[in-house]
Structure 1
Amino acid sequence: MTITLRRRSLLGATLTATLTAALAAPALAQGYPSRPVRLIVPYPPGGATDITARLLAQELSSSLGQPFAVENRGGGASVTGTQAIAAATPDGHALGVIDTAFVVNPGLLGSRLPYDTRRDFSFVSVLVRSPLVLVVPASAPWQDLAALVRDARAKPNELTFGSAGNGTAVHMAGEQFRLAADFSFLHVPYRGGGPMITDVLAGRVHMAFGTIPAMAEHVRAGRLRALAITGDTRASLLPEVPTMAEAGFPAVDAALLNALIGPAGLPEPVLAQLAAASRRAVTSPAMTARLTQLGFEPVGGTPAEAAALLLAQITQWDRVIRDGDIKVD
């Protein structure tokens, strides 16, 4: 009898605790946000990540009833701002919008990072992604990707590949392509995408990856030739350009991405509320139209999906960096 009563008592306590937690979660979500939210961007104003963050901030401010203010923390190849996200109080009132550098830096910088990318963050939602396009000068002899690969294999380290800088998404795309196609090139890193595009247009660099909106106008005007789009889906801005998968290199799937993250330990109800609000934001007609103009595809996934993708990306780029023996100064 005593054992039965004890079991009933334990069962009652367990049910009470479960019920209390279930009731507390919606209450916590309903009280969030209780004050303005900082949205940290680890770059100066004006770039693609900053634009995405500002569009998101406007939508979240409207839907969640508190101001979401973008705070630019540039410097250190995005590390300075990302560290500020990791150090924030985990109550949902300081978040961050990051890009591909977030998943590349662990392989590039390793123990020099002042945070653990896998453990020191809460992954809220992947907001958008954008494939990249491989371009060559209009004067180049290669009419398709196969011709470029044949020439590159025949002339090891003679062809030049331009990038917006060591460790950038376009650099990683080039390394991924080089490894998949089994050839070597001479990497020419620039301080940003502008100077890189200038030299590709002038024929001083043989090839480069770039964002589709930045390259589409030059391609349409006949100043550049687009050979392939990363991934397996053609781009609406350049529908005539085949994908890397169509060209025989499905592993070349590098893309720009933006994701919403926070410090580790964000409460589950807040995570769920932010993910749902972000999904509504990026799929709203106004924001979708603007993102499409920028070459982004809205995603708006769940926290579990964000964690799975970002952690897989860290592993993927770590392998490319290791196999390509990529170093940074």
Structure 2
Amino acid sequence: MLHRRTLLAAAPALLAAPALRAQDANWPNRTIRLVVPFTPAGTTDIAARILAERLTHRLGQHVVVENRAGAGGNVGSDFVAKSEPDGYTLLMATVSSGGINYSLYGSRMPYKPEDLAACGLMLQVPNLIFVTNSLPVRTLKELVDYARANPGKLNNGSSGAGTSLHLTGELLKTVAGIQMQHVPFRGAGPMLQEVIAGRIEVAVDNLPSVIGHIRDGRLRPLAVTTKQRTPALPDVPTTAEAGFPDVEATAWFGIQVPARTPRPIIERLGREIDAAVKEPETKAKIADLGGMPPGLTPDGGTSPETFEAFIKAEIAKWGEVVRKSGATVE
């Protein structure tokens, strides 16, 4: 009797397994949405649209971008974490939503690292420290000297509290011993307009979303936050060259899905992302924006396993930065 009851209890799962495998094999057979947890025009949005176009081509189904901004990327990320784990809702994860926010928001985080599964890293990009053209500084040292002479009078903008841009600004203030008022925006687009207009004097942004304004002379670059200069702006020094080696930060962007998404779908997405970022057309677009390839696998690509390990390391790294800087969000 016990043996019979055990078989009856297991029957639904046994029957469901072939159906699930068949569903995985047929994926995708309809439109996929790629959720961007920030407003349009920022680096996350730009990267997502490049990847969506290539995945549409490779998967044979439309991949459409959907912007769900708020709380430093938490709103859109939480939406994906709680979505059906069927491979039709993807997240354009960032260093903030996938790394920084777990420490910065603490118990207020609406989702946990284990609620999302990694598929693949698309690119890494430098952050750029820049100023409005009306501010009388042309180097990072001159900015620090100006801030010291005018404590608390400068506003520094970012695309949102908890982003790597916010934390880079906090690092600069901590390392240089200066005071500036952080002004978070709901995305890079509105923040950049305020800096161009001169209402925000200093800002940090991911290179891809600000590089057009730099090249057109609407904003003045001071330093990139990576160890090496970027070929996209070869005349702009690194923070180390400018005298502040501890102000180092690299932003990243990749795909995550709800944690219970079937592994065959995750593996397929990982393969397609890896192939897409290695395409000459995609590599050229990334390079033009000042971005760097994933670089997680020996051939410079990405995989679900390497991206998962990368995210875990980033959570630990940025947790230490949050602790040392004392950064908070309201």
Band of TM-score, shorter chain: 0.7 to 0.9
Q: CA deviation at 1:150?
A: 4.1
Letter matched to residue 257 of structure 2:
G
Q: Which residue, out of 217, 227, 233, partners 2:228?
A: 233
Superposition map of 1:286-305 within 5 A: 286-299=281-294, 300-305=301-306
Instruction: Report the counterpart of residue 319 of structure 1 in structure 2.
Output: 320
Q: CA deviation at 1:122?
A: 0.8
Q: CA deviation at 1:276?
A: 1.9
The structure whose Rg is larger is: 1
8 A Cα contact 1:37 1:94, kept in partner: no
Structure 1: 4+ residue segments shifted above 6 A: 27-30
- Is 1:108 matched with 2:104? yes
Q: TM-score, normalised by structure 1?
A: 0.77
8 A Cα contact 2:82 2:258, kept in partner: yes
1:285-314 Cα deviation digits (max 9, x unpaired): 222333334443332422232122222222
Q: 1:164 to 1:32 in 2, by over 3 A?
A: same
Instruction: Report the counterpart of residue 127 of structure 1 in structure 2.
Output: 122
Q: How far apart, in 1, do the equivalents of 2:64 and 2:181 lie?
A: 42
**Percent of aligned pairs with the same amino acid:** 37
Q: How far apart, in 1, do the equivalents of 2:74 and 2:94 lie?
A: 11
RMSD (Å) for aligned C-alpha atoms:
3.2
Superposition map of 1:168-317 within 5 A: 168-201=163-196, 203-220=198-215, 222-299=217-294, 300-317=301-318
Aligned partner of residue 236 in structure 2, secondary structure: coil
Extract unaligned runs of 5+ from structure 1: 1-23
Instruction: Report the counterpart of residue 50 of structure 2 in structure 1.
Output: 55
8 A Cα contact 1:32 1:270, kept in partner: no
1:96-117 Cα deviation digits (max 9, x unpaired): 222233123222322222211x
Letter matched to residue 29 of structure 2:
R
Aligned partner of residue 98 in structure 1, secondary structure: strand
Q: 1:193 to 1:261 in 2, by over 3 A?
A: closer
Total equivalences in the alignment? 303
Instruction: Report the counterpart of residue 97 of structure 1 in structure 2.
Output: 92
Q: CA deviation at 1:235?
A: 1.9
Superposition map of 1:60-99 within 5 A: 60-99=55-94
Q: Which residue, out of 21, 33, 53, partners 2:27?
A: 33
Letter matched to residue 312 of structure 1:
A
